[in-house]
Copies of this chain bind each other. A is one copy, B any other.
Amino acid sequence: MTFDLSNYLTERRRLIEAELDRLLPAADEPPDTIHKSMRYSVLAPGKRLRPTLTLAAAETVGGSAETVLPTACALECIHVFSLIHDDLPCMDDDDYRRGLLTNHKVYGEAMALLAGDALMVFAFELIASNAAAAPPDRVLETIRLVARATGTCGMVGGQVVDMLSEGLEIDAETLRTMHSHKTGALLTVSILAGALLAGGAPEQCDALRSYGEHVGLAFQIADDILDVTGDEELIGKPVGSDVKQDKATYVKLFGLAESHARAQEEAARGIACLDGFGARADALRAIARYVVERRA
């Protein structure tokens, strides 16, 4: 029997979106403008890949998805904070995201800036409040790892390198480092957080961390490919924006065919890390394949 990923992703997305809706401050709670702005971007349609990975990782080590759900939502909030700030005029200056106007196009730059700030803080509040999930030292360890994956050693650091590399020729090693920081770090910690909070043993956490690193890289290569070959309507933003901004991408460096082969290879390596988990890791295996085969 093959794993029905489509059903799985839909069910998980609904669970996560219902929880995000429940956890976020209400749209009429003062100061309501910023709460509306936060909800606008968080509740916009999305794949919810990071929180889905958190839930899947918890189940892969034999824990329950439900207890790590608030932390999963926190990781989505961090992802959305980065999207809001990335879209600002002083960064990528994008008007559309997930098929909708970007946050600052609706709420103005100042509110978008503050909504991003507030979502990041809210994420740490959620993880710290998710104390029922695990012993407090595991929750603290999760906060440390998430903070490192978000800051200059992770996502923010990757954005800096990305920004500074615009228009420059960079080599494969630099590109890999940039991607592993910009996208890989948060994807990997989303998996690790689920495993850690659900009581995963050190060797299980190590295996899932390696899985995350490979799948994170596969995800970013696939993103680079979609920026060239993707369907604008499915992606919800104009294709070719990386080319327009002369960004360093896998496609620019290796061409489409080689990029596709590399993405497949990283996904396969990720799947190989799951050997010790048996059928419990079926969701993570299916997600690794989906990451490189998705059309948006």
> Which residues of A are interface residues toward B (Cβ below 8 A)?
25, 30-31, 33-35, 38, 81, 85, 88-91, 108-111, 113-114, 116-118, 120-122, 124-125, 128-129, 131, 135-137, 139-140, 143-144, 147-148, 150-152, 156-157, 159-161, 163-164
Contact = CB atoms under 8 A, between A and B. Distances in A.
Contacts of A151: 118, 121-122, 125
A144 B156 contact: no
A35 B152 contact: yes
Nearest to A131: B140
B160 A33 contact: yes
A128 to B, nearest CB: 4
A81 to B, nearest CB: 8
A156 B91 contact: no
Most B C-beta atoms less than 10 A away, residue of A89, A144, A156: A156
Nearest to A139: B140
Contacts of A116: 117
Most B C-beta atoms less than 10 A away, residue of A81, A110, A164: A110
Contacts of A144: 125, 128-129
A161 B164 CA distance: 35
Nearest to A143: B128
A143 B124 contact: yes
A147 B130 CA distance: 14
A262 B101 CA distance: 46
Nearest to A130: B140
Contact of A160 (B114, B125, B147, B148): B114
Contacts of A91: 110, 113
Most B C-beta atoms less than 10 A away, residue of A89, A135, A157, A164: A157
Contacts of A139: 136, 140
Given A121-B156, A128-B144, 5 more contacts: A31-B152, A35-B152, A90-B113, A124-B143, A128-B147
Contacts of A140: 128, 131, 136, 139-140
A37 B29 CA distance: 35
A2 to B, nearest CB: 40
Given A128-B147, A152-B25, A121 B120 contact: yes
Contacts of A109: 90
A164 B113 contact: no
A110 B128 contact: no
A38 B30 CA distance: 32
